[in-house]
Structure 1
Amino acid sequence: MEHTGTELRRGWTTGSCATAAAKAAWLMLLGHEPPASVTITLPGGQRPTFAICRTGLDNGHPFAEVVKDAGDDPDITHGAVIRATVRRLPAGSGVQFRAGPGVGMVTRPGLPIPPGEPAINPTPRAMIRTALTEANEGTPPDAEVTLSIEDGARLAERTLNSRLGITGGLSVLGTTGIVVPFSCAAWIDSIHRGIDVARAEGLPHIAGSTGNVSEKAVQKVYDLPDTALIEMGDFVGGMLKYLRRHPVPRLTIAGGIAKMTKLGQSKLDLHSKRGQADMGALAQLAATGGAPASVIDAIAVSPTVAEAFLLATAAHIPLGTLIAQSALRTVLETLAPAPCAVDVMVFDRSGQCVGQAGPSLPQT
């Protein structure tokens, strides 16, 4: 996609690439020459053109391939080859979808696609139906569309798919067709789908964690199943706002000292690029726990939260508990009025709990 100056370049979702490949393959099935490019319609009405990198026949059925361009977003599927293979079905069949190599299958309820179906989300399915209808001169076709992603099974190991109940490969995603750089929309979507799966299974308690250490620690404390674990990373706001609309009975927020400090300071995006912890505010928090002036002053100028925590620990100030309490206030304010009991656990780098607050209910 075009860009100017230092503006980050947008890219295309797997759904858009799959749509372009499917349209090209259907045109071949209709007898057209293999196209060098095709134009598709996105949900927002945009009409981008995609280069077709390869075409051919697979067991006599036409296929086309598109190389995914995710723009400047750090998307693990950037550069992946998306293939669509099509064949004609009997009249009245409509458009049916199959998972080829590298595309996963849904095995658990709670996702937008039911168990037993290929992990091709509703928007890409709708885009493909529209594209095939365009290629078919306005008549909805009867077609089987098989999508494949080169090396998709290996790439899926770096996603949350297995926890969500998607096995064998990647999901074909996208709601707008466009990848916005560093929006991390796919991660936030995985958080939402994880919550959906937990709710569908009727789990009474889920835990959102900022990383592997806190996730393993909180799972051990509460003996939670894997499906109750939501790897929220830095996107606590994305998780809490979704839970506000789709609540669960009990929620634990688990994270490291620095990220929970920022959460306690009302930051809902915990990434370092979106802001650092306010050391002056942390010093004042320590003061509420009885820290002497010398420790308060030292914390205020500490280069890191970790160092500030060591200073507080040496002075026997329960800074971990104070951090957990402040983080809990932020969580409760964000969740309100959802009827969800919440506690916050703060872990050090070894997985030791150094602070906890709750459970409490949001104020209505």
Structure 2
Amino acid sequence: MEAAIDIDSKTLRRGWTTGTCAAAATKAACLALMTGEFPALVEVTLPGGQRPGFALAIEEVGEGFAKAGIIKDAGDDPDVTHGALIISTVRCGAAKSGITFRAGPGVGTVTRPGLPLPPGEPSINPVPRQMIAQAITEVAGEGADFEVEISVPDGEKIAEKTLNGRLGIVGGISILGTTGIVIPYSCSAWIHSIWRGIDVARAAGLDHISGATGNTSEKAAQAYHGLSDVALIDMGDFVGGMLKYIRSHPVPKVTVAGGVAKMTKLAQGMLDVHSKRGLADLEALAKVAEDAGADADLVARIIAANTVAQAFEMAGARGLKLGDRIAALAWKTAAKSLGDPKIALEILVFDRHGQLAGRTEFTPSDHSGSLAAES
């Protein structure tokens, strides 16, 4: 199968999800448990029908079990689990028990409702479970009874770099993947973590969640409203990705919080506020300042500013409340993605020190644009 993909005129290697590695390790361990021998190369079937092959990093057969491990290769994606050893230990299960899953060391356990798996289950997601079951069927046939334990050395430490703790997944990483393939810089894992965070907050009965573009704005918004960690959604640059999911999975009150540069981009109509999507338009920002009463000198200085943050500092020094104007315009962009009068939307704009630079009131987010930029 194709091992690379062209992104922004660069050839980047695809990689494999933890779910694919777990399925391949399970297939090898199951074969060894049945025959006493490990394959030189183990192939698994991905949801899309592809059949990649993997070499084994560890092999062990003992009394009543077989164990195999595969090093995860995430390709050219900056994945925190790149290089992790994914181990599957397979044992015979009780008659008619089917395939049961266990969380070994370094694999998390679900503790909160709202995720694809109920509390108490090992955090091995549904598609990886299906892939593992198919891998076993390819070796042992239909209706086989096995216990599968997935473990990841250092998985608990790796999980500190993920959102698992906030989602209520304790003890390690999750075994993930929907296609089995890691597409470099696709951001799909982040988008899915946003969705799961919203699911957990809804399942906890929360009526207010806050999505922030970064750590500073997240902490500032949390302090501003006194929110619990469960209410915090690490949306990063994916404002649209969060809001569109909330539109179909409603929460009564939504705060969108961010720094002056990211919120200026949102105010200018960008729902993905990553720097690679483009910089904020300083001329457009200067026009907003002019409409708010900035004189010609300040308008010229904003156009010539090095950064949005510098432009805000110059406006603030002149007593111009540019943040409130940007918040109002950002609200109009965000409200179009929600389009539901039952969802009240608020925008909070913070400076680099976490100080409030602008805000809107909570306002029903219908399509009428009822919150005017002049407010």
Q: CA 1:4–1:158 in structure 2 vs 1: closer, same or farther (change >3 Å)? A: closer
Q: Offset at 1:71?
A: 0.5
AA matched with 1:82: I
Aligned to 2:81: 77
Matched, 1:25 2:26: no
Matched, 1:314 2:338: no
Q: Offset at 1:2?
A: 2.5
Alignment of 1:260-299 (within 5 A): 260-299=263-302
Alignment of 1:45-64 (within 5 A): 45-57=49-61, 60-64=64-68
Q: Offset at 1:130?
A: 0.7
Aligned to 1:258: 261
Q: CA RMSD in A?
A: 1.4
Picking from 14, 20, 30, the partner of 1:16 is: 20
Per mean C-alpha deviation after superposition, the further-off stretch among 208-217 and 171-180 is 208-217
Alignment of 1:140-159 (within 5 A): 140-159=143-162
Q: Offset at 1:32?
A: 5.0
Q: Distance in 1 between matches of 2:88 and 2:261?
A: 45
| Aligned 8 A contact 1:99 1:118 in 2 | yes
Aligned to 1:324: 327
Q: Distance in 1 between matches of 2:5 and 2:167?
A: 38
Q: Distance in 2 between matches of 1:202 and 1:306?
A: 37
Deviation per residue, 1:262-286 (Å, 9 max, x gap): 1111111111122111111111111
Deviation per residue, 1:27-66 (Å, 9 max, x gap): 1111152112111111111111112121103554101000
Aligned to 1:344: 347
SS of match in other structure, 2:330: helix
- Percent identical among aligned pairs is 57
Picking from 98, 107, 112, the partner of 1:103 is: 107
AA matched with 2:224: V
Give ranges in structure 2 of 5+ residues lacking alignment. Answer: 368-375
Per mean C-alpha deviation after superposition, the further-off stretch among 62-71 and 41-50 is 41-50
Matched, 1:129 2:130: no
AA matched with 1:2: A
Aligned to 1:162: 165
SS of match in other structure, 2:361: strand
Per mean C-alpha deviation after superposition, the further-off stretch among 15-24 and 276-285 is 276-285
Picking from 172, 176, 180, the partner of 1:173 is: 176
SS of match in other structure, 1:181: coil
AA matched with 1:30: M
SS of match in other structure, 1:30: helix
| Aligned 8 A contact 1:36 1:53 in 2 | no
Picking from 240, 243, 251, the partner of 1:240 is: 243
Matched, 1:184 2:226: no
| Aligned 8 A contact 2:207 2:253 in 1 | yes
Per mean C-alpha deviation after superposition, the further-off stretch among 255-264 and 335-344 is 335-344
TM-score scaled by length of structure 1: 0.97
Q: Distance in 1 between matches of 2:270 and 2:5?
A: 31
Q: Offset at 1:140?
A: 3.1
Q: Offset at 1:234?
A: 1.2
Deviation per residue, 1:174-212 (Å, 9 max, x gap): 011111111122222111111000000110101011111
AA matched with 1:294: D
Aligned to 2:123: 119
Deviation per residue, 1:77-107 (Å, 9 max, x gap): 0000000000111221111000001000000
SS of match in other structure, 2:13: coil
SS of match in other structure, 2:342: coil
Give ranges in structure 1 of 5+ residues lacking alignment. Answer: none
Q: Offset at 1:348?
A: 1.0
AA matched with 1:302: A
| Aligned 8 A contact 2:64 2:91 in 1 | no
Q: CA 1:154–1:4 in structure 2 vs 1: closer, same or farther (change >3 Å)? A: closer
Picking from 86, 89, 93, the partner of 2:93 is: 89
SS of match in other structure, 1:355: strand
AA matched with 2:39: P
AA matched with 2:363: S
Q: Offset at 1:134?
A: 0.8
Structure 1 ranges of 4+ moved more than 6 A: none
TM-score scaled by length of structure 2: 0.94
Deviation per residue, 1:241-295 (Å, 9 max, x gap): 1111111000011111111111111111111122111111111111121111221
SS of match in other structure, 2:46: coil
Q: Distance in 2 between matches of 1:262 and 1:10?
A: 31
Q: Distance in 2 between matches of 1:219 and 1:296?
A: 34
Q: Distance in 2 between matches of 1:333 and 1:253?
A: 13
How many aligned positions are there? 363
Matched, 1:249 2:252: yes
Q: Offset at 1:3?
A: 2.8
SS of match in other structure, 1:303: coil
Q: CA 1:218–1:282 in structure 2 vs 1: closer, same or farther (change >3 Å)? A: same
